[in-house]
Amino acid sequence: MKKIIHFFSAVKLAIVLIILLVAASIMGTLIPQGRDMAEYAARYGRLGEPLVRLQFTNIFRSVWFLGLMAVFELNIIACTLTRLGAKVQRARKPKIESDPKDLASFKIKDRLRMSAGLDAAKERAVEALKEAHYRVRTAEEKAGNENKSGGRFNVFGRKRIDGIFGSDIVHLGLLVIIAGGILTGIGGFRAELILNPGETKDVPRAGFSVRLERFDTEMYPGGGVKDWKSTVTIVENGRDARKQVIEVNHPLVHKGFSLYQMAYGMNWDAATLTLRIARKAAAEGAAEKSGEASAGPKKEMKPETETRRPAAAQPAPDEPRIIKAKVGEVMPLGDADGTEILVRSFIPDFVLGENNVPESRSLEANNPAAYVEGRRGGKKVVEGWVFAAYPEVTRLKGDAAAEYAIEFRDLDAPQYSVLQAAKDPGVPLIWLGCLLIMAGLILAFYRPTWEIRMVLEAAGGAGRELGASGKTEITAGGVAAKSRDGLEAEFARIIAGLRSSK
Amino acid sequence: MTEATFFTAAFVLYVVSALCYLAFQFGRKAGAATAGLAAAGAGLIVHAVALVLRTIQSGHAPFTNMYESMSFLAWAVVLALVIIEAKFKVPRAGSYVMLIAIAVMALASSPLMPKEAAPLVPALQSYWLWLHVSVTLLGEAFFAIAFVTSIMYLRAKDPEKRDKMDSVSYRCVSIGFPLFTLGGLVFGMVWAEKAWGTYWSWDPKEVWSLITWFVFALYLHTRIVMGWKGKRSAIIAILGFLAALFTFFGVNYLLAGLHSYV
């Protein structure tokens, strides 16, 4: 047991652990964390698999990192406790007597002779220390202790004893923070809530639900997002309990749960597309068609297309029409033929995936595309992809493709809000730990403990009566673990004061 | 007069200060060091005006992009120098520290750095921006001085000068470490909890702050408990500053994460 305590209480162990933690942390920022196996295989080749297996790809949650932290924690506890006893002893019952020979080995030291009796000299020394705000204790060693030289006074002055506990308080703070982290890991809980305006969802485990009244994105006049705001109502037992706006940096806290504005997105399923559809004169259409046909033969360019055209050829070119449609909605175009327009599907970020199947690269509207169909009398006569960003790419097919010009003009989708619901029982401990660390640092750095020891002896050596010669020899020394130069100056001042006093 | 005018004026004063300090270094005339400190102090005030103007113009704290934060860092370094000079009298460090401040300002005004005062993204709209960044950078400024005095320690031959540099390095760390802990870690955690809903997420910037903190903790433990001084202490202080520097610059440019605002 003793050996174990000895092992864990060594500062050298702390040094080694800190170096290991630093090395692990550096690796944790150089190796991308928490990606999938394929990415590591691509990045590191054959090293990928062992890296994943040794948890180098999830270092901060790895068994060995947590183990390192656990040893570090034991180390802090052992280091602090083994030194605390002596410190408390030093604070409560300091050794007042000093040996002049020891004082001679101090880095801050001096000797002087006062032309005053022992009692008077002692009073002046105590006075001088008290004036400099030292807490003074004295001890008398009576003459008559035959082996020793005459009577002797020990004066012990000390200030800011709380400073020696600074490091212990910092360590305690660290332990509290680690405990808070463990509590977060065990009892912490977070969940994402995706809410469309008007939607109500249960906050998991919280016993209440949240309804998104509205979600607003505020923009700066010059562009750029100013704020995301979710106006929410907390619903408890079917009743509206409170209404509040959640913004980034302004979470809502309710019954130990915090709701944060995390993200937002576009609800593309409910997108409204604005299409501009023009009917062209048949002749015009034919000209274009044939031009295209000569440019590059296409499958849909079958002779039948040409033969059918006369049917649609009578009306003059209609005025272009603007249609606002949702996906799956059939909208009448309002032309003479009774064309109906249907947006079959919508892709916010169009890309041709495997086997040339269209898919969305992201959920951002980087390349919005719609598959539009036109029907006449229940029969599909035109269809094709239209692109908002690249109108020139549009290629329509179908029997009457040549008669229609379809442009994808605009896009509007309701935004949904992503809230994070979190309950973290570790948080109060984290703040307590932070307070302790800061208090401890201030004590450790700005409350340096200073001690001044003095031994007063009647001058003249052995055999004399106490104070009989009227002269007193003072040996003094100062101890400061920190800010020694400060004590050095103060010590010199105090000694000089005693020297000049008569 | 605009912010840029004051920025340039401060830059000129810093150059004058560096030249005075260099003159002191080679001429050993105490007057030159005093002039260097005076020029640095004047530059500090002019630079402060520039920062205030920037704040008024942009309507937010003057450290939301690389140009602004580097300008503030340079200001903090000069402030730290003035404080350390007043308390511990290390005029020989003056020229090097001023050269660092000048280099940071030159880098800030280089065309590589975006300068426009962009409106604040929602995540940065918090008074914690003020507290978190200013206190952290001030702490790092003291680390910068410790870095300079540590290098001077390693290069010095005169034992008295070495002792002085060793002691000043320690004093700088003992000011910088609490500031860095408070601004970088404590305020950072409080803000993260408010903005992201979690006080710690092992984001690269967070991890590198922790690394910096660990290195200086190492400095303090080896020094206070194990009695290391001089060369080994100086090397740890230098590594600590380099870690702080990487936290400030490297993470933004080399590692992606939550903190990629600037």
d(CA B227, CA A58): 37
Query: Residue B94 is encoded by which pair of tokens?
Result: 């003056």
d(CA A236, CA A242): 9
Q: What is the mean pLDDT of chain B?
A: 91
Considering only residues A332 and A149, tell me which one the structure prediction assigns the higher pLDDT: A332
- For position A434, what pLDDT does the model report? 97
Residue in A with minimal Cα distance to B254? A30
Examine the pLDDT at A442 and tell me if it is beyond 80: yes
- For position B139, what pLDDT does the model report? 97
Examine the pLDDT at A296 and tell me if it is beyond 50: no
Helix axes B66-88, B3-27, angle to 10 degrees: 40
Examine the pLDDT at A292 and tell me if it is beyond 70: no
Task: Count H helices and E strands in chain A, helices first.
Answer: 12, 22
Considering only residues B203 and B257, tell me which one the structure prediction assigns the higher pLDDT: B203
- For position A303, what pLDDT does the model report? 38
For chain B, the residue count is 262
- For position B130, what pLDDT does the model report? 92
Tens digit of pLDDT for each residue in A268-281?
Answer: 888 899 999 888 76
Question: Residues A373, A342: contact at Cβ < 8 Å?
Answer: yes
**Comparing A310-319, A337-346, B82-91, B103-112, which segment has the lowest mean pLDDT?**
A310-319
Torsion on CA atoms B79, B80, B86, B89, rounded to nearest 10: -130
Tens digit of pLDDT for each residue in B121-155?
Answer: 888 888 999 999 999 999 999 999 999 999 999 99
d(CA A347, CA A366): 10
Instruction: Tell me whether B242 touches chain A (CB under 8 Å).
Output: no
Q: Which of residues 61-80 of A touch B (CB under 8 A)?
A: none
Residue of B90, B135, B203, B221 to mutate for A, most A C-beta atoms under 10 A? B221
Contact B202 A33 (CB under 8 A): yes
Size of interface A-B (CB pairs under 8 A): 105
CA distances from A325 to A340, A366, A409, A444 (A): 11, 20, 12, 70
Examine the pLDDT at A145 and tell me if it is beyond 60: no
CA distances from A287 to A293, A308, B44 (A): 10, 15, 75
d(CA B123, CA B196): 8
- For position B230, what pLDDT does the model report? 86
Examine the pLDDT at A226 and tell me if it is beyond 70: yes
Question: Residues A344, A373: contact at Cβ < 8 Å?
Answer: yes
**Closest Cα of chain B to A279: distance in Å?**
45
Tens digit of pLDDT for each residue in B231-246?
Answer: 999 999 999 999 999 9
At A299, the pLDDT band (50, 70, 90 cuts) reads very low
d(CA A236, CA B190): 29
- For position A179, what pLDDT does the model report? 94
| Percent of chain A surpassing pLDDT 90 | 46
Contacts of B186 in chain A (CB under 8 A): 434, 437-438
- For position A62, what pLDDT does the model report? 92
d(CA A449, CA A266): 62
Contact A224 B194 (CB under 8 A): no
**Comparing A17-26, A31-40, A454-463, which segment has the lowest mean pLDDT?**
A454-463
Residue of A15, A18, A29, A171 to mutate for B, most B C-beta atoms under 10 A? A29
Instruction: Tell me whether B121 touches chain A (CB under 8 Å).
Output: yes
- For position A4, what pLDDT does the model report? 84
Q: Which of residues 131-190 of B touch A (CB under 8 A)?
A: 167, 174-175, 177-178, 181-182, 185-186, 189-190
| Percent of chain B surpassing pLDDT 90 | 68
- Looking at residues A132-147, what average pLDDT do you find? 77
Other Cβ atoms closer than 10 A to B101: 31
Q: What is the mean pLDDT of chain A?
A: 85
Examine the pLDDT at A210 and tell me if it is beyond 90: yes
- For position B77, what pLDDT does the model report? 97
Tens digit of pLDDT for each residue in B113-124?
Answer: 777 777 888 888
- For position B220, what pLDDT does the model report? 94
At A364, the pLDDT band (50, 70, 90 cuts) reads confident
Examine the pLDDT at A293 and tell me if it is beyond 70: no
Examine the pLDDT at A294 and tell me if it is beyond 50: no
A483 three-state secondary structure: coil
3-state secondary structure A364-410: CCCECEEEEEEEECCEEEEEEEEECCCHHHCCCECCCHHHEEEEEEE
Nearest to A25 among B126, B210, B255 (CB): B210
Examine the pLDDT at B167 and tell me if it is beyond 60: yes
Instruction: Tell me whether A82 touches chain B (CB under 8 Å).
Output: no
- For position A469, what pLDDT does the model report? 57
- Looking at residues A478-493, what average pLDDT do you find? 89
Considering only residues A417 and A297, tell me which one the structure prediction assigns the higher pLDDT: A417
Question: Residues A427, B193: contact at Cβ < 8 Å?
Answer: yes
Contact B221 A431 (CB under 8 A): no
- Looking at residues A390-401, what average pLDDT do you find? 85
- Looking at residues A232-245, what average pLDDT do you find? 92
Q: Which of residues 221-280 of A touch B (CB under 8 A)?
A: 222, 224-228, 247-251, 258, 260-262
- Looking at residues A227-254, what average pLDDT do you find? 92
- Looking at residues A458-484, what average pLDDT do you find? 73
| Percent of chain A surpassing pLDDT 70 | 88
**Comparing A17-21, A274-278, A352-356, which segment has the lowest mean pLDDT?**
A352-356
Contacts of B253 in chain A (CB under 8 A): none
**Closest Cα of chain B to A195: distance in Å?**
18
Q: What is the pTM of this model?
A: 0.83
**Closest Cα of chain A to B50: distance in Å?**
24
Examine the pLDDT at A463 and tell me if it is beyond 90: no
Contacts of B118 in chain A (CB under 8 A): 224
- Looking at residues A420-432, what average pLDDT do you find? 94
- Looking at residues B178-203, what average pLDDT do you find? 94
ipTM reported for the complex, 2 dp: 0.93
Residue in B with minimal Cα distance to A427? B199
Instruction: Tell me whether A19 touches chain B (CB under 8 Å).
Output: yes
Contact A190 B198 (CB under 8 A): yes
Contacts of B177 in chain A (CB under 8 A): 441, 445
Contact B195 A248 (CB under 8 A): yes
Nearest to B182 among A22, A431, A438 (CB): A438
Considering only residues A462 and B169, tell me which one the structure prediction assigns the higher pLDDT: B169
Examine the pLDDT at A41 and tell me if it is beyond 60: yes
Contacts of A27 in chain B (CB under 8 A): none
- Looking at residues B58-70, what average pLDDT do you find? 88
Q: DSSP class of residue B248? A: I
d(CA A54, CA A30): 16
d(CA B201, CA B221): 27
Q: Alpha helix locations (H) across chain B? A: 3-27, 30-58, 66-88, 91-108, 127-155, 159-180, 188-195, 204-224, 231-245, 251-254
- For position B256, what pLDDT does the model report? 65
Contacts of A247 in chain B (CB under 8 A): 122
Residue in A with minimal Cα distance to B187? A434
